Amino acid sequence: MSKRFIITVITLIVIGVGAAVAIFLAKGYTISPQEKRIVGTGIITVSSEPDAASVYIDGHLTTATNATISSLTPKIYSVKVIKEGFIPWEKKLEVKEGLVTEVKVTLFPAIPTIYPLTFTGVSKPVLSPDGSKLAYIVPTQTQSGEPNKKGGVWVWTLIGNQPIAFARSAEPHQIASSSLADFSQADLQWSADSKQVLATVGKNNYLLESDRLNNEPRDITPILQATLDSWKEDIQAKDEARILAIQDLGLRKIASDSAQLYWSPDETKMMVKKEPTSALYVYDLESKKEYPLPDARAHLWLPDSRHIILVEEETISLIDFDGTNKAIIFAGKFEDSFVFPWPDSSRLVIISSLPTPTASEPNLYGINLR
């Protein structure tokens, strides 16, 4: 063979090898001096709400959120997301060869805004099963002892993050007046379909439509038990349908045998207490992983299905659904450990009061999460 042919062959081989190396490097592979070979790398993508937060990898400022971090050697990294005015987020993440690890971070305000939502007094609030309505009692007397014309049962339909003045359909409306019965001492209960409210006053049980004022509330005491049994059956039927929809037989058995079961709003996760005295776990039906949750007086899903509200003694916190990243949102007095989230996850609502002559009566207060 001629020298020119040999040089041409060698040149083609070199070009081919170089192209192959370039392709491997473009796909995230790198040359490891320690292992003396080409090894695969992984990728982390980080997005945040709000965006433009700083991302630190193992303590080093790497990029801003809504970005991709490539060519990472497979191992466990410490990822921290920081933005001024918000509580930092930090987690250990495992990067695997050839895979993308996606991280979606919600940053909560370091100093949340707290503001009143009602001014006439509130007691015995009850959230509807679908989380879209709140029923509560307005007292029959004002702070000065005068009769309160607004006294009775009220319902608030919760819509988005609009203030009450800008969402007419979301305005609180009275569904029963205390001029008809002493609803100030009533116990409230929602129907399974979130359309009716049962108000129990002494030995009387009034069934109230939640979308209007009930001028002649219907006393269903003679059929009370049958009504309650019907509601219970509706709830059980819905839970059974959810359980049967679980594809993994092991997770299906855990759900059906649990002492307590709380579905995430998107029904991709479930909080489970296996025994009445056992700890709570979150089971992710998509990844088929389980995560233990810290102890608290109450655990509630945030509507985004990615966070859980922890209610403790004079403290309200939010954690990721895997039990990490505890962020204290509120520390102070609130009534009866009552907390519920707005349907769009934009705020929490509590019952509280201020030690002043004009604000000592319990009312609903909002706590902004954005």
pLDDT along the chain (370 residues), means of 10: 67 68 56 59 91 94 90 91 96 89 94 91 93 92 71 87 46 89 92 96 95 93 97 94 94 93 95 88 95 95 96 95 95 89 94 83 93
Alpha helices in the chain (DSSP H): 3-26, 224-244, 249-257
CATH class of 42-107: mainly beta
Give burial (CB, 10 Å; 0-12/13-18/19+) of 339: buried
Task: Check: CB of residue 288 under 8 Å from CB of residue 301.
Answer: no
Beta pairing partners, 55: 63, 81
Q: Do 44 and 65 form a contact (C-beta atoms < 8 A)?
A: no
On the CB side of 168, how many CA atoms lie within 13 Å of its CA? 0
Q: What's the pLDDT at 141?
A: 72
Rounded to whole angstroms, the Cα distance separating 147 from 26 reads: 76
What's the pLDDT score for residue 5? 64
Q: What is the DSSP letter of 160?
A: T
Q: How far apart are CA 122 and CA 191, in angstroms?
A: 21
* 83: CB partners within 8 A, 6+ apart: 48, 50, 52, 53, 54, 107
User: Phi/psi class of residue 214: alpha, beta or left (left: φ > 0; alpha: ψ in -120 to 50)?
Assistant: beta
Q: At what angle do helices 224-244 and 249-257 cross, to 10 degrees?
A: 160
User: Which pLDDT does position 27 carry in this prediction?
Assistant: 54
Q: Is 209 exposed, middle or buried (0-12, 13-18, 19+ CB in 10 A)?
A: middle
Q: What is the pLDDT of residue 33?
A: 56
11: left (phi over 0), alpha (psi -120 to 50) or beta: alpha
For the beta carbon of residue 247, count every other beta carbon within 10 angstroms: 8
pLDDT tens by residue, 17-48: 666 555 555 555 555 555 555 567 889 999 99
Domain boundaries, the chain: 1-40, 42-107, 114-368
Fill in the DSSP letter of residue 306: S
Residue 220 and residue 293: Cα distance in Å, rounded? 41
Secondary element (H or E) of residue 207: strand 204-209
pLDDT tens digits along 142-193? 666 677 788 999 999 987 544 444 344 467 999 999 888 889 889 999 999 9
How far, in Å, CA of 84 to CA of 187, rounded? 45
3-state SS class at 348: strand
Kindly report whether the peptide bond that precedes residue 50 is cis, defined as omega within 30 degrees of 0. yes
Query: Which two structure tokens, joined as six digits, stand for 83?
Result: 């933005």
C-alpha distance from residue 250 to each of 5, 177, 264, 276, 285 (Å): 65, 50, 19, 20, 11
Residue 150 pLDDT: 86
